[in-house]
Structure 1
Amino acid sequence: MVKIKHRSNVAAALFDVVGSRGASRARRHAALVAAVRQTNERVEAIDAVRFTVGDELQGIYPTVAEALRAAYHLRLAVAPEVDLRVGIGIGEVEVIDPERGIQDGSGWWRAREAVDTVKERASQAGYRGLRTAIVGHDDPVLDATVGLIDAHLSRLRGGTVGTVRGLLEGQSNAEIAERQQISESANSQRVANNDLRPLADAIRAVTGG
């Protein structure tokens, strides 16, 4: 049961699995369940991430920065096997059915609009890597930065994702290499060849640390 009744000026977030159908759906769902648990342990939320219908998830955060932090944590936890589309709406959220936890409000309307917006934009030439949109604010620099992060994340393959996670968690090169089961030299090359430090810096900037 959802504990909130009514909140204004919050960040409502919808997470939609891209290409969720197929033979590997059960494996994808298991990975998402684990990622949701980890995200809820690490990111402050008003209403923690939970599954709603099918492969869609939702959560409510006090700020856009926290919503983005949850989004990147979820995405990096399941990438590259699972890809998530993220819509964040800033506005009001209220519980209209406490027993079933059903919510409504401008935050959710804008979050749905954000999902539809990023889905449409990603279908355009040159924007295929976009996965995140924010509706209800007026910060074009944030929008552009989030778009660049998406474009960079879309090009990461295999263990490179794990290296990004390590950088964001503040691990040393040796610690990341040990976790990825590669040499320190190989991890250093991975960081340099994929420009991972600027990517980690940008993610920290939009998530407040």
Structure 2
Amino acid sequence: MFRAALIGDLVGSRDAADRQALHTRLSRALAAVQQQLPSLDPPVIQAGDEVQCSYATVGEALHAGFLLRILLAPEADIRFGVGWGRVEVLDAQRRTQDGPAWWQARAAIDTVEARAQHPGTRYARFCYRSAPDGSGPTEAAVEAALLCRDHLMGSLDTRSMRILGGLVAGRSKTEIGRAEKISTSAVSQRTQRDGLDVIVAASAMLREVR
């Protein structure tokens, strides 16, 4: 079967002052994402705060990662690798899987980690790899959109990230302003200045990638 494998890895988790609190936050955020966008199999948290799950489409995997990143911010950040390809279930009871989709997801997360070490792409958090035979959504097109979205999101301050989360959740600018204790106009100004509507629109389009 073909799937989109998603691997998420918390950034700097080894240096966290309270690893238990970070793990709890990750577990709660995963549960919230599962309610909005269930994966084909329950997400698994591996050693080192690595998350693994799979989706029917690349777009769903990318959107799940996007939602998880917003829910974890600003206390934690996370990087993702998404790979398309065949998945083989080795042990259904233990939920052990293997196959090209997972190999590609691993290659993708290694790539995004390497990108983040360079000043020009330091905000990189997502990477996508098509199947080894080239099947699946066009790699270059998806990667271009992800790099641009990552740069926009990496430039946000804490308040703008919270506003983005409100917009993604469907709250009005008035509701967001009330929660932030600022005017609706101030929310609109930040939305325009920081390209928040662009991020929301781009993410909605990425979700539709098949």
Question: Normalising to structure 1: TM-score of the pair?
Answer: 0.90
Pair 1:113-2:81 in alignment = no
- The aligned residue for residue 5 of structure 1 is none
Per mean C-alpha deviation after superposition, the further-off stretch among 151-160 and 172-181 is 172-181
Task: State which of 110, 126, 131 in structure 2 corresponds to 1:132.
Answer: 126
Contact 2:129–2:139, Cα closer than 8 Å, also in 1: no
Paired with 1:80 and 1:148, the residues of 2 have a C-alpha distance of 20
Query: Aligned partner of 1:161: which letter?
Result: M
Pair 1:92-2:86 in alignment = yes
Q: Deviations over 1:32-81 (max 9, x none)?
A: 11110100000132113231222000110000110011000000001122
Paired with 2:36 and 2:176, the residues of 1 have a C-alpha distance of 19
Residues 123, 20 of structure 1: alpha-carbon distance in 2 compared, 3 angstrom cutoff: same
Task: State which of 6, 10, 14 in structure 2 corresponds to 1:13.
Answer: 6
Paired with 2:61 and 2:162, the residues of 1 have a C-alpha distance of 21
* Deviation, structure 1 residue 142: 1.6
Larger helix percent: 2
- The aligned residue for residue 188 of structure 1 is 188
CA RMSD of aligned residues (A): 1.7
Per mean C-alpha deviation after superposition, the further-off stretch among 52-61 and 175-184 is 175-184
Query: Aligned partner of 1:176: which letter?
Result: I
- The aligned residue for residue 58 of structure 2 is 64
SS at match of 2:113: helix
- The aligned residue for residue 197 of structure 1 is 197
Paired with 2:198 and 2:172, the residues of 1 have a C-alpha distance of 16
- 1:158-169 pair list within 5 angstroms: 158-169=158-169
SS at match of 1:156: coil
Aligned residues with identical type, % of pairs: 36
SS at match of 1:39: helix
Paired with 2:147 and 2:89, the residues of 1 have a C-alpha distance of 32
Contact 2:7–2:50, Cα closer than 8 Å, also in 1: yes
Contact 2:11–2:76, Cα closer than 8 Å, also in 1: yes
* Deviation, structure 1 residue 208: 2.5
Residues 180, 80 of structure 1: alpha-carbon distance in 2 compared, 3 angstrom cutoff: same
Paired with 1:135 and 1:141, the residues of 2 have a C-alpha distance of 11
Paired with 1:159 and 1:31, the residues of 2 have a C-alpha distance of 19
Number of matched pairs: 202
Per mean C-alpha deviation after superposition, the further-off stretch among 65-74 and 46-55 is 46-55
Name structure 1 gaps, 5 residues minimum: 1-7
Contact 1:44–1:66, Cα closer than 8 Å, also in 2: no
Q: Deviations over 1:59-114 (max 9, x none)?
A: 10000110011000000001122111100010111221233221111111111111
Question: Normalising to structure 2: TM-score of the pair?
Answer: 0.90
Contact 1:168–1:204, Cα closer than 8 Å, also in 2: no
